Structure 1
Amino acid sequence: MTAVDDKRHGSDDERVAIRALVPGVADEDLPFGGRRRVGDRLMRELGGGARAAAPARRWFRRPAGLVVGAAACAVALGVAASLLVSGGGGRVAPVTPPEPAAVRLLDRVAVAAQRAPEPVVRDGQFLYTRTEGFAAVLSEVSEDGRMESSRSDQSLERWESVDGSARTLERYPGGGQDTFDAGKGTLVDPTYRFLESLPTDPEHLLQMFYEDAELNHGAGTDSTLGADQGTFVAIGDLLNGVECPPRVSAALYRAAARIPGVVLVPEATDALGRKGVAVAREHDGERTEWIFDRESLRLLGYRTVVLKDGDWGKAGEAVESKAIIARGVSDRAGEVPRKRS
C-alpha cells in the first residue's frame, strides 16, 4: 500500500497488514473505500511564479494568513454528518466524517500523552526543542517558465520562554540565529504558561480553534484552506512546535479526532526516516500527516505529501517534513538540556 493510494479496496491481505501495524483497529474501522506551515506552502496555494530558496524562520508556525478559510462558522463542531455551506453559489456539500480508525488511533495517542510525566517548569526558564526537516522550494530555471523543485533545510534548535518574559532564541544550520518577542502566548504562537491555561474539554478546545480562525481569517480572506484543514494544521503545528502539558496534549488529540475528513495512514516516514503510523487530512492535492511511533504512540513529527505528479514532485513525495529530535527545559537560552527526549 503506497502513501498516496486514494482508492483503497480493502483486500484481506491489506486488512491483515493494517491490523498488524495498528493494534486495536477493528475490521469495520479500516479506512478502505476512499475516504502548510511556511511561505512555501502559501506559494503552492497561490500557484506559481519564481521562488527562491530563502531561510524560513519559525518554520513550524503556520503563517496567520493560512490558518483558516471562509467556512469556519458553518462547521458543527464534533458532529460528523453535518452539512457545510460552500463558498460559491450557496451549494451545500456533505462533510466527510473522520474515519473510525483515525478516531480510535487518536484516542490511544491521547491516553498515552496524558500518562506522560508533567514537566517541572519554572518561570524564567526555556522550553528547548530540536528538529530536523525540510520544505520544498520552487525556482524558475528557464526563460520558458520551467520550474524546478529543491529542498530548503528547515532544521533548528529553539529556546522558547516559558512565561514570555524573555526573548525566544532560534539557531539554524550554518550558525545563523534569530530572536523573537515571546509575548504572553496565543493559540498559534503559545507559551507554556498559555498552554497550561487552556481547557481540557476537547469540544471546548476545538471550538476555540474554530472561533479564533473565523475571527482572524473568516469570510473575505484570501485563504483557500477552509476551516477544517486550517484547524487541523493549526493543532498539528502546536503539537509539533512546542511541548504541551500532558493533559492539554491529550485534549488536542481528542479535539482533532472531531475534525471532518481526518483519516488513518497505516505507514508514514518522518524526516529522519523513522517509520510510524499517521493520522492525516487531505486538501487541494496534498495530505498533511501527523506521524506517531507505533509502539509508544509518541509524536515523531509531520510531513505533507503531494497526491499527484506536478511541479512540486511526484505523487507520494514529501514537500514538507519535520522530525522532533529532542525536547527539554533549560535555565538559559542557548543552553542544551542534559536530558533529552
Structure 2
Amino acid sequence: MAPAPVPDPSPQKLRARRQHLLNEIDQQAAPRSAPRRELLRRRRRVLVLGSAAVAAVTVVAVSIGFGETMAPREVPPASAASVDLLERAALAAAAEPLPTARPDQYAYVKVVGHTTVLSEAEGGAMQRLRQDAGMEQWTSVDGSRRTLQRKGGADQLLPEIPGKGSLNSPTYNFLAALPTDPDALLERIYEDAEADHGADSGSTTGPDQQAFVAIGDLLRSSTAPPAITASLYRAATRIPGVVAVPDAVDAAGRHGVAVARVHDGERTEWVFDKSTARLLGERTVLLEDNAWGKDGAVVASVAILDSGIVNKAGRTP
C-alpha cells in the first residue's frame, strides 16, 4: 500500500522556514578562511524557494539544516552502547598503518549517495526531489593546489586553493596537526561550534549538534592520520545525546550498526561495519512526518567506497 501523501506546508510554516533560512544565511555570510567543502554542502538537504517578485518561477537553492526549536533541556551523556562502539572504531582506526603523505600528493575520497531537495513554485506547492550526492575528490595534502572533483564523470577544479585548511575545509596536513588528545580535540571543535551556533549566534542548531555534525563530516569526507581518526571517535563519546542504533543501512546497501544523535525530529547516523567497526557512511532519518518526508524516510545518505593518499589528482589508491 502506497504511503499517504504529505500535505503541503501551511503559509505559517512556510513563513517560519523562510525566516529560519534568512537567519542561517546571516550566520554564514561572514567570510571564512576557506570555503565549506562541497561534500558538507551536498550532505545537507536543500530548500528551493520561489520568488513572487517575477512572473516566471525563480528558484534559489541554499544548503541548510533545520535547527532545534524545542526549549533547552538537559541532555543525557552518550549512551554506554555508543561509547563502546566508538571505542571499537577508535581502536580499529589506530591500528591502521600511517600513510606516507608528501606535500606534493593528494588525499582521495570516493562516496555515493543522495540528498533531498524541496522545491517551491510560485503557487506555494512543495515538491520533494532526490539529488545525487556521489562524487570523487582529490585534495592537495599541503593545500597548495586546487581541489579536483569528479561528479557524473565530469571533472572540475574548485576555484580556490585550500591553503592551510580549516575544520570546514580540511587538508591532510591540517588534520595531522590537530590534537590527538580527545578532550583537547573536542575543545577545538567546540570553539567553532560555539562561534557559529552558540547562545548569541542566532542559530538554533546548538553547539552539541554542530560538534557531532562537524566530526561526522571530517570522518566521512576526509583522509586523516590514524591517530587523528581515533581521536575524533573518542571525542564524539564526550558529546551529550549520542546513542547507538542496532541496525542501519548505508547508501551502498551495506547493513551495519550506527552511532547517532537526534536533533529536531531527525536522527543523524554514522554507520559502521558490525564486525570490523569500520565507518561505512552516514545517513539522516526522519523521526516524524514533515515537508521533507514521512516518519522513517532516509532523506540523506552517503556511503564511503574508497579513500587514501595518491600521487596525482585523478588517480585512485
TM-score exceeds 0.5: yes
In the alignment, is the contact (CA less than 8 A) between 2:197 and 2:210 conserved in 1?
Answer: no
Equivalent position to 1:38, from 38, 41, 50: 41
Q: Match of 1:198? A: 178
Using the alignment, how far apart are the partners of 1:271 and 1:53 within structure 2? 27
Equivalent position to 2:279, from 291, 299, 303: 299
Q: Match of 2:20? A: none
Q: 1:258 to 1:332 in 2, by over 3 A?
A: same
Deviation at 1:151, TM superposition (A): 0.7
Equivalent position to 2:145, from 158, 166, 185: 166
Equivalent position to 1:135, from 99, 105, 115: 115
Using the alignment, how far apart are the partners of 1:40 and 1:116 within structure 2? 27
Deviation at 1:267, TM superposition (A): 0.4
Using the alignment, how far apart are the partners of 1:311 and 1:195 within structure 2? 37
In the alignment, is the contact (CA less than 8 A) between 2:42 and 2:133 conserved in 1?
Answer: no
The one-letter code sitting in structure 2 at the alignment partner of 1:305 is V
Q: Match of 2:29? A: none
Using the alignment, how far apart are the partners of 2:155 and 2:145 within structure 1? 20
For residues 1-341 of structure 1, what are the structure 2 equivalents within 5 Å? 37-38=40-41, 41=44, 49-50=49-50, 93-140=73-120, 143=123, 145-175=124-154, 177-179=156-158, 180-334=160-314, 336-337=315-316, 339=317
In the alignment, is the contact (CA less than 8 A) between 2:43 and 2:133 conserved in 1?
Answer: no
Q: What is the TM-score normalised by the length of structure 1?
A: 0.73
Q: Which moved more, 1:215-224 or 1:159-168?
A: 215-224
Using the alignment, how far apart are the partners of 2:260 and 2:132 within structure 1? 23
Using the alignment, how far apart are the partners of 1:53 and 1:325 within structure 2? 31
In the alignment, is the contact (CA less than 8 A) between 2:280 and 2:303 conserved in 1?
Answer: yes
1:213-241 Cα shifts (integer Å, max 9, x gaps) = 22344333232210100000000000101
Deviation at 1:183, TM superposition (A): 1.1
In the alignment, is the contact (CA less than 8 A) between 1:68 and 1:214 conserved in 2?
Answer: no
The DSSP-based 3-state class of the residue aligned with 1:211 is helix
Deviation at 1:174, TM superposition (A): 5.0
Using the alignment, how far apart are the partners of 2:67 and 2:193 within structure 1? 5
Using the alignment, how far apart are the partners of 1:242 and 1:165 within structure 2? 17
In the alignment, is the contact (CA less than 8 A) between 1:68 and 1:227 conserved in 2?
Answer: no
The DSSP-based 3-state class of the residue aligned with 1:207 is helix
Deviation at 1:112, TM superposition (A): 0.7
The DSSP-based 3-state class of the residue aligned with 2:277 is coil
The one-letter code sitting in structure 2 at the alignment partner of 1:295 is S
Identity of aligned residues (%): 49
1:295-318 Cα shifts (integer Å, max 9, x gaps) = 111111100111112221111111
Using the alignment, how far apart are the partners of 1:291 and 1:87 within structure 2? 27
The DSSP-based 3-state class of the residue aligned with 1:327 is strand
Using the alignment, how far apart are the partners of 1:324 and 1:223 within structure 2? 30
The one-letter code sitting in structure 1 at the alignment partner of 2:133 is Q
Q: What is the TM-score normalised by the length of structure 2?
A: 0.78
Q: Which runs of 4+ in 1 moved over 6 A?
A: 65-69
In the alignment, is the contact (CA less than 8 A) between 1:67 and 1:213 conserved in 2?
Answer: no
Q: Match of 2:35? A: none
The one-letter code sitting in structure 1 at the alignment partner of 2:101 is V
Deviation at 1:187, TM superposition (A): 1.8
Deviation at 1:290, TM superposition (A): 0.4
